[in-house]
């Protein structure tokens, strides 16, 4: 995760980051979400729908704290954001790019019903400064595939910025 190189951030830096995420969300540029525990006292992960592909598509990104993995959280996040992408945003395609060495992320994309599309050569930044760029695997789902995808069975509720159900 390239962004992790900037952690830990100061409280001031984190506030500015959250403000920028909110501004991007409100302007419809980028949709970043935080995943909290049931008591809403601890961040356990994050996700988002990001404009990194062609028009009519968004890319799902996700991360889960190491001590929270293996509970299906990334799979559920991915399924819900896939449905939101198609059903709320009207997308034609949703993408997920995965590091081929990340077995858990590979399973998340497959469990949600995404298709292993192509390898993307030199798509990911180096793991260490001065290192080689790394390959990624592109998984995709197109709108008409949602009806038969496992992601279709994951319930969700969506609200607009005023709190009204969509």
Could you tell me the residue ranges of all domains in the chain? 2-153
Has residue 4 got a pLDDT over 80? Answer: no
Taking domain 2-153, whether its CATH number is 3.60.15.10 is answered by: no
pLDDT of 92: 98
Residue 8: other Cβ atoms inside 10 A = 7
Query: Which pLDDT band holds residue 49 (cuts at 50, 70, 90)?
Result: very high
pLDDT of 17: 86
The answer to whether residues 108 and 69 touch, using CB atoms and an 8 Å cutoff, is no
Contacts of 25 (CB under 8 A, 6+ apart): 31, 32
d(CA 25, CA 65): 23
pLDDT in tens, 56-92: 999 999 999 999 999 999 999 999 999 999 999 999 9
pLDDT of 83: 97
pLDDT of 5: 62
Round to the nearest angstrom and report the end-to-end CA distance of the chain. 32
With vertex at residue 4, the alpha carbon angle to CA 77 and CA 83, rounded to the nearest 5 degrees, is 15
């Amino acid at each position: 995760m390239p962004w992790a190189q900037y952690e830990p951030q100061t409280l001031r830096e984190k506030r500015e980051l959250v403000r920028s995420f909110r501004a991007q969300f409100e302007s419809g540029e980028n949709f970043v979400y935080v995943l909290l525990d049931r008591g809403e006292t601890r961040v356990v992960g994050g996700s988002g729908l990001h404009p990194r592909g062609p028009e009519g598509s968004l890319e799902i990104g996700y991360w889960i704290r190491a001590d929270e993995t293996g509970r299906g959280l990334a799979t559920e996040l991915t399924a819900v954001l896939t449905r939101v992408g198609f059903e709320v945003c009207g997308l034609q395609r949703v993408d997920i790019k995965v590091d081929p060495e990340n077995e858990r992320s590979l399973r998340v994309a497959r469990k949600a019903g995404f298709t292993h599309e192509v390898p993307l050569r030199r798509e990911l930044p180096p793991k260490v400064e001065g290192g080689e760029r790394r390959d990624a695997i592109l998984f995709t789902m197109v709108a008409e595939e949602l009806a038969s995808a496992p992601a279709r069975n994951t319930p969700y509720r969506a609200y607009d910025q005023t709190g009204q159900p969509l």
